[in-house]
Copies of this chain bind each other. A is one copy, B any other.
Amino acid sequence: MQDKCGVFGITLDSKDAALPVYYGLYALQHRGQESAGIATYDSSIHIERGMGLVHEVFDEHLLTHLKGSQGIGHVRYSTTGFSKLENCQPAVVNYRGGTIAIAHNGDIVNALDIRKTLEAEGRIFVSDSDTEVIAHLLVKELMKYDTITAIQELMNKLRGSYSLTLLLNDTVIGVRDPYGIKPLCIGKLDDGYALSSESAAIDTLGGELVRDVLPGEIVALKPDGFTSQRAAKKAITAHCMFEYVYFARPDSTMDGALIYEVRRKIGEVLAEGDVEADVVIPVPDSGIAFAIGYAQKSGLPYTEGLIKNRYVGRTFIMPGQDLRETAVRLKLNVIKKHVAGKRVIMIDDSIVRGTTSRKIVDMIRAAGAEEVHMRIGTPPIVSPCYLGIDMPTYGELIAARKSVDGVKLMIAVDSLKYITLAGLIDSIGLPREHLCLGCLTGMYPIEKPAERAMQLKLDAFANGVKKKDERVPVSPVSS
């Protein structure tokens, strides 16, 4: 599973926005490592985008040329729209009223339909991204309405998940879809206000989290505050559950809950009435908070049994090898002494395909563990996401094909326990009806588009994709 995009926006009193946007994106880097971009406004819009990590795309030279006290930024892992420079965000379009830059996190379910409608009107598209669809639609509404009304009309037409930061000439605007699926929050800085996918980026700038943007809310920043409008159309709230268990930084607070505490709480719930064991070890890094919670509740010692190579992530593995095994070994090493002869509780955030889990379990056993009990911070994932997370298909989701016992057998553990849905919801602390649990239940807040439409969308530009790098990347261990 891949992190999705991160968005950021800022309006300052007088200083240039580029550097704080850069720092903000830096703090959101975990949400997307494929490309990065910043747009600022200073009588005209300045834009720089590129493939790679934030610090690879930008240098001092580029940042000093991005003038202006208003700016937005974006980090991206592609979901729709393939890995091409053309798809880097923020997208910038010129129209009658000036220039608009758009940074988008989410997935527009009816993008293809809207696109067809717009094409039928004679409009042209230069990319395959949802963002261009949003741009067209927004400009269309801006031809008829004032800015806020236009955005409300835009929101009436878009179906799906979207947290947007917009730079409409000199105004930074934040928009969150009526379901509030993807996160977006408001921060107060020394000399201005910011919008960010996560509060940790506000912290990095030395600012303070004001509050989350509400589902369906439109927030326009000013150096000394912000205005708020709600979109007319009401909807149920459906915050993405996965942000809490995997995507977001543990030090972010999201829709009222500190991510770290949610994960620690899940660990505690998992510990309740669990089997006897000697040590609790996390699969680093995503299992750490869960394991600490489990240890505290159970009284078992929290133990680092797996050490992660901090330089891993971009290596390659030569073809003809047992790829996954080598990949896991390059990434993780067992401290034998910590597991040998022990009954081990091992905690991970989730199981997606199960193949990596199996390799880790094998390593732990080879190191002499007496028993291995796997505990998982997310209930079984049985259905793919189409609202903003890059997930495997049904066929690849192990829990969609196998029972818990089947998975247990496959990953070869002595016992396997997932957090229950109730336990998860309780740990998050939000009402069940305020969460999107689609991947766990198959019940989504927004009607699932026809398979065919999805396929078309995915195939649209597939031929155009240039595979720059044929190396086999090291897969994240927890997926």
A positions within 8 Å CB-CB of B = 19, 23, 26-27, 29-30, 33, 42-48, 53-55, 59-60, 62-63, 65, 67, 85, 91-96, 100, 116, 119-120, 122-126, 128, 135-136, 139-140, 142-143, 200, 203-206, 249-251, 258, 260-261, 285, 288-289, 292, 295-296, 301-304, 307, 309-312, 314-316, 318, 326, 329-330, 333-335, 337-338, 461, 463-464, 466, 471
Q: Is the CB of A304 within 8 A of B143?
A: no
Q: Look across to chain B and name the residue whose beta carbon is closest to the beta carbon of A316.
A: B60
* Interfacial chain B residues near A126, Cβ < 8 Å: 91-94, 126
Q: Is the CB of A63 within 8 A of B318?
A: yes
* Interfacial chain B residues near A19, Cβ < 8 Å: 318
**Min C-beta distance of A97 to chain B, whole Å:** 8
State the majority secondary structure of interface residues on A. Answer: mixed
Task: State A110–B125 Cα separation when bound (angstroms).
Answer: 23
Additional A-B contacts beyond A123-B123, A206-B329, A295-B302 (17; CB < 8 A): A19-B318, A26-B330, A30-B310, A42-B463, A44-B461, A53-B311, A55-B311, A94-B126, A95-B125, A124-B135, A249-B333, A250-B307, A250-B335, A258-B335, A261-B337, A288-B304, A292-B302
Q: Is the CB of A471 within 8 A of B260?
A: no
Task: State A47–B463 Cα separation when bound (angstroms).
Answer: 10
Q: Look across to chain B and name the residue whose beta carbon is closest to the beta carbon of A125.
A: B94
**Min C-beta distance of A30 to chain B, whole Å:** 7
Task: State A44–B459 Cα separation when bound (angstroms).
Answer: 11
A302-B302 contact, Cβ under 8 Å, with A93-B124, A311-B26: yes
* Interfacial chain B residues near A258, Cβ < 8 Å: 335, 337
A93-B125 contact, Cβ under 8 Å, with A304-B289, A318-B63: yes
* Interfacial chain B residues near A464, Cβ < 8 Å: 44-47
Q: Is the CB of B122 within 8 A of A140?
A: yes
* Interfacial chain B residues near A307, Cβ < 8 Å: 200, 249-251, 260
Q: Is the CB of B124 within 8 A of A251?
A: no
Task: State A453–B98 Cα separation when bound (angstroms).
Answer: 17
* Interfacial chain B residues near A338, Cβ < 8 Å: 260
Task: State A27–B128 Cα separation when bound (angstroms).
Answer: 33
- Kindly identify which residue among B120, B261, B334 contacts A203, using a CB–CB cutoff of 8 Å: B334
Q: Look across to chain B and name the residue whose beta carbon is closest to the beta carbon of A319.
A: B60
Q: Is the CB of A62 within 8 A of B125?
A: no
* Interfacial chain B residues near A333, Cβ < 8 Å: 27, 200, 203-204, 249, 251
A463-B46 contact, Cβ under 8 Å, with A249-B307, A251-B307, A311-B30: yes
Task: State A23–B100 Cα separation when bound (angstroms).
Answer: 39
Q: Is the CB of B62 within 8 A of A466?
A: yes
* Interfacial chain B residues near A471, Cβ < 8 Å: 59-60
Q: Is the CB of A301 within 8 A of B311?
A: no
* Interfacial chain B residues near A302, Cβ < 8 Å: 292, 295, 302
User: What are some 27 contacts across the A-B interface (CB < 8 A)?
Assistant: A26-B315, A26-B330, A29-B311, A46-B464, A53-B311, A55-B315, A67-B463, A93-B125, A93-B126, A94-B124, A94-B126, A95-B122, A96-B116, A96-B119, A96-B120, A126-B126, A203-B334, A204-B333, A205-B329, A251-B307, A251-B333, A251-B334, A251-B335, A258-B335, A260-B335, A285-B310, A292-B303
Closest 6 A-B residue pairs measured CB to CB?
A251-B307, A93-B124, A96-B119, A29-B311, A122-B143, A94-B125
Q: Look across to chain B and name the residue whose beta carbon is closest to the beta carbon of A331.
A: B204
**Min C-beta distance of A288 to chain B, whole Å:** 7
- Kindly identify which residue among B27, B136, B142, B289 contacts A309, using a CB–CB cutoff of 8 Å: B27
**Min C-beta distance of A298 to chain B, whole Å:** 13
- Kindly identify which residue among B33, B95, B203 contacts A124, using a CB–CB cutoff of 8 Å: B95
Task: State A303–B48 Cα separation when bound (angstroms).
Answer: 40
Q: Look across to chain B and name the residue whose beta carbon is closest to the beta carbon of A128.
A: B94
A42, A62, A303: most-surrounded residue (chain B CB, <10 A): A303
Task: State A126–B126 Cα separation when bound (angstroms).
Answer: 8
* Interfacial chain B residues near A142, Cβ < 8 Å: 122
Task: State A63–B316 Cα separation when bound (angstroms).
Answer: 11
Task: State A286–B225 Cα separation when bound (angstroms).
Answer: 40
